[in-house]
Structure 1
Amino acid sequence: MNSEEINELELLGHNAWFAQERMRLGGWLLRADNGISRRANSVLPLGTPGLNLSTAIDFAIEFYSSRDLITRFQVSEASLPSELDATLADIGFSKVFHVEVWTSEISSLLKVHPSCDTEYLDTLSEGWIDTYLQASGYDPSTMNVRRGILERTDQPRIFVQANGSDSIVAVGFGVVEGNWLGVFNIGTHPEKRRSGAALSINHALGVWGNKQGAKKVYLQVETNNSIAKNLYTKLGFNHAYTYWYRQLDTVKKEKIAASDCLQHEDC
């Protein structure tokens, strides 16, 4: 995948996971949302900042430190300027949390045979939120901010739940922009894992995305999550590129659970 294609997907992911506060610095997007999720609290460097690089980095440090947040950059091989990653490393930004972006034709999801009944929701329900919380293991105090992120995108989006006999067993979230369906927040209740519920959610998102005109699918998965990667390999997905975070650990730790991005939730 070339740099233009990588940055297209990086922008799609940004538009699907919209932080409450956003600021442009040339071709950089500075995002902040109470320290909840890395993606919503980091710089996305899709173009050059329009300033001397050192000055631009100092601006970003001030932006985040004034909000009592870690200064963090979401970096890929396509980030601009090209010397950004090396410069961040030289001034003490640690490299953490590698995330892989996987892609496929939408037919990969359409061919799945669902094993659970699924239901589409235009708005989040308390049942969806509770199942997502149980599946992810997040701190309940972060859920209001997470809910805002999920509901904020101005692109077509849908929430899906898989229903068992007496409860919701799995949930997911999809966003369509252009020809792409983004698949997010696939989570199965801990007591219902290995039931096929996650596959049913993926299928339902594919059906919805196809009706919205999407031809291709992307998702984000933590590099060391072999279970999710094996699943999507079997469905026909391929690794497109990897991004990582550079962060300056100079302020208090934010409320990011150890399980963040356990599958492809809010990497």
Structure 2
Amino acid sequence: MVRRIVPGETGPTGGPAFTDVLGVCTSWSDGVCVVQPSSGTAVEIPIELIVSGKPVPPRPSMRLRVSAREAESHSEAIWPGVERVALGDWELRSDPHPVGRLIKRANSVLAMGDPGVPFDEALEGLREFYASRERPVMAQVEADSSIESALRDEGWTELERGEAHFQLIALSRLRRTLNLGDSESPGDSESPRFEVADATVTVELPHAGGRATIDGDWLGLHGLHVDETARRQGLARRVLRELVDWGAEQGALTAWLHVETDNAAALTLYARLGFVTHHTCRYLAPGG
């Protein structure tokens, strides 16, 4: 941000008038500072008129400004058959027909926001909900939130592998990155197998695969896997490229995913692609 004198004008106190320009400094030479605002044309400022300047951190993108509760709501489209019961802002979730292990996101209370009732009453309500369905009680919370603190005060503890980052990226940026240097992928020799059901597409290649689900203009990436014997060959990027291209055709603007915090290989891949962490969530269960 640059503050400059406005020649020929008087300020409210009778002295010189000042104005501020906010943007990126693109040039500082020949006695002129050039600042490019977020929109419009660049502003040329004679250096002799500059009173002060200071660095200002970039404003977070709109994607990063949504709440954790709102961001997590985009998971709903991944499991359309899950039973969901509102408890204020909280959401009790149970998959009536699970296949294999219970997926935590689909079988826990999303405990973010205000439950709308006293805390003890909210806990009793979720215990009754899961007991009636013969399911263990689990809560998904925003890491280090007041709700996590309150549950821990009640004796709740973190589940094994119970922490995950919610990461996101602009879909346009992800497409550009994935389309760089894609000729060496061994999967290019075979066409991927596509299967589309409702809002979800499944992509399968030999030794790799993944799914993506569209919810409004958000694309959730999930189920990405590569056989251990075929890793470090570009297959994950190939699968992601196919999923993201499909998402772009559906009008998606943001891509997101959950990644467990102890999955070093996945975290490295997503960091290289440009994903950033929006928030971290933890899964807790009552002690004993």
1:6 corresponding residue in structure 2: 68
1:3-152 equivalences in 2 (<5 Å): 4-18=66-80, 20-33=82-95, 34=98, 36-76=102-142, 83-96=146-159, 97-111=162-176, 112=178, 113=182, 115=185, 116=187, 117-123=191-197
Distance 2:82 2:156 in 1: 25
**How much does 1:3 deviate?**
7.1
CA contact (8 A) 1:70 1:249 kept: no
**How much does 1:86 deviate?**
1.8
Residue 122 of structure 1 aligns to a residue whose secondary structure is strand
**How much does 1:77 deviate?**
5.4
**5+ long unaligned stretches in structure 2:** 1-59
Distance 1:158 1:193 in 2: 22
Distance 1:227 1:108 in 2: 21
1:258 corresponding residue in structure 2: none
Distance 1:18 1:84 in 2: 27
1:262 corresponding residue in structure 2: none
1:260 corresponding residue in structure 2: none
Alignment counterpart, residue 217 of structure 1, candidates 230, 255, 269 = 255
Q: Which amino acid aligns with 2:117?
A: L
1:129 corresponding residue in structure 2: none
More helix by share: 1
Residue 138 of structure 2 aligns to a residue whose secondary structure is strand
Q: Which amino acid aligns with 1:160?
A: V
Is the counterpart of residue 160 in structure 1 residue 203 in structure 2?
yes
Give the structure, 1 or 2, with the largest relative contact order (CA under 8 Å, sep 6 or more): 1
The higher radius of gyration belongs to: 2
- Show CA shifts across 1:71-93 (max 9, x none): 11100159xxx642222111111
**How much does 1:188 deviate?**
1.3
Range that drifts further, 13-22 or 54-63:
13-22
Range that drifts further, 197-206 or 23-32:
23-32
Q: Which amino acid aligns with 1:181?
A: L
**How much does 1:249 deviate?**
4.9
1:194-209 equivalences in 2 (<5 Å): 194-209=232-247
Distance 1:3 1:89 in 2: 27
CA contact (8 A) 2:112 2:142 kept: no
Is the counterpart of residue 187 in structure 1 residue 219 in structure 2?
no
Taking structure 1 as the reference length, the TM-score comes to 0.72
- Distance of aligned partners of 1:98 and 1:77 in 2 relative to their CA distance in 1, 3 Å threshold: closer
CA contact (8 A) 2:209 2:239 kept: yes
- Show CA shifts across 1:162-187 (max 9, x none): 2xxxxx32111101112211100001
1:242 corresponding residue in structure 2: 280
**How much does 1:19 deviate?**
5.3
Distance 1:37 1:249 in 2: 20
Q: Which amino acid aligns with 2:203?
A: V
